[in-house]
Structure 1
């Protein structure tokens, strides 16, 4: 690493380095921050969600995406919630929004927080 130092009063105050080395340092800092965030998530035992699922959650019906991610059919989810399969189909199709009580049941069946569905 080729660093030039600027001193004031006999003490190093500034370090000057080539832009390529500066950018490499920034990349390493970002990687360390990512590793720290990952380690923290693992410590809290957070569920790791694949990127494809996250993308779908941004663009599709959340109930449908979570149901499929959990490997359930509409009928299985409806049974877990004590609802009709048609209710799940209507919510997933956007024909119904579902009451708070219904969404709470769906969230519980999918082991989610209500916020994950709305």
Structure 2
């Protein structure tokens, strides 16, 4: 069945804008719920700027968590030199190493690469 309704363009635009507003509200509510549940976190501007500027994500997240290289290495079960080499870009790190470091920092591997 092909039911059609004709409405003035102004009414259509108003309904479309209301639907977009509702979608925005639902998205914002989901972000708030994810933050409250610990599924997402807010990153302070200082650290976000460092990531945007291209600084090593391992170094930025380590600093955000208040860890030294040695503390991160111990928590992740890797060598401190490995952490230093990842932070300076001398090494890329294996998938296994990046997973250990990501878990220790409470982030995803995607956040580190």
Answer whether TM exceeds 0.5 for this pair.
Answer: yes
Higher helix share: 2
Name the residue aligned to 1:106: 101
2:42 alignment partner, SS class: coil
TM-score by length of 2: 0.70
Distance in 2 between the 1:36 and 1:53 partners?
28
Post-superposition CA distance 1:24-77 (Å, at most 9, x none)? xx9xx88x93x6543221212321122222221122100000000011000000
Instruction: State the alpha-carbon separation in 2 of the partners of residues 13 and 42 from structure 1.
Output: 36
- Structure 2 spans left out of the alignment, 5+ residues: 1-6, 11-16
Runs of 4+ displaced beyond 4 Å: none
Segments of structure 1 that go 5 or more residues without pairing to the other structure are 1-11, 16-25
Query: Considering only aligned residues, what root-mean-square deviation do their CA atoms show, in Å?
Result: 2.7
Task: Work out which structure has the larger RCO, using CA pairs closer than 8 Å and 6 or more positions apart in sequence.
Answer: 2
Larger radius of gyration: 1
